[in-house]
């Protein structure tokens, strides 16, 4: 299982030294792009092929405050994929204690640069196969 570590930066916190809620969404993106890159699907490769992957939805459930200086481990999992859309779920845990700080989910689709829906099965069959394999492994 892939995981991504992040040490909370001062600029990510509010006056109470607690991570501002918007940063969790940024961490989801960082973990997701690192995960896909590690699996052989870097965003720059997709974009060079003329395919973009916008966020359709995002949600985050905040469980425990995260504070300046703590290191968290973000675990993204490809929970569904149908050739056109995919969903990634996330867990953010304190690396030292294992406490669950947040969970979340993002959904995405594949589009051409002019905004038309793209089927990866047709456009990038190798990438399609990798994504299918990831869902099967992690179910």
Dist CA 139 CA 133 (whole Å) = 10
Check if the beta carbon of residue 31 is closer than 8 Å to that of residue 74: yes
Is 5 considered catalytic here? no
Q: How many CA atoms lie within 13 A of 7 on its CB side?
A: 2
5, 14, 44, 114: the active-site residue: 14
Dist CA 43 CA 45 (whole Å) = 5
Catalytic residues, by residue number, are 14
């Amino acid at each position: 299982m892939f995981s991504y570590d992040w040490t909370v930066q001062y600029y990510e916190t509010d006056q109470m030294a607690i991570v501002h809620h918007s940063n969790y969404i940024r961490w989801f993106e960082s973990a997701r792009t690192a995960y896909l890159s590690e699996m052989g699907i870097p965003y720059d490769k997709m974009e060079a092929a003329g395919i973009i992957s916008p966020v359709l939805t995002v949600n985050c459930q905040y469980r425990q405050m995260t504070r300046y200086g703590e290191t968290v481990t973000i675990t993204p999992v490809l929970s569904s994929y149908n050739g056109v859309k995919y969903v990634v779920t996330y867990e953010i845990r304190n690396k030292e204690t294992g406490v669950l700080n947040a969970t979340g989910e993002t959904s995405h689709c594949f589009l051409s640069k002019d905004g038309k829906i793209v089927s990866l099965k047709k456009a990038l069959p190798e990438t399609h196969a990798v994504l299918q394999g990831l869902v099967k492994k992690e179910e």
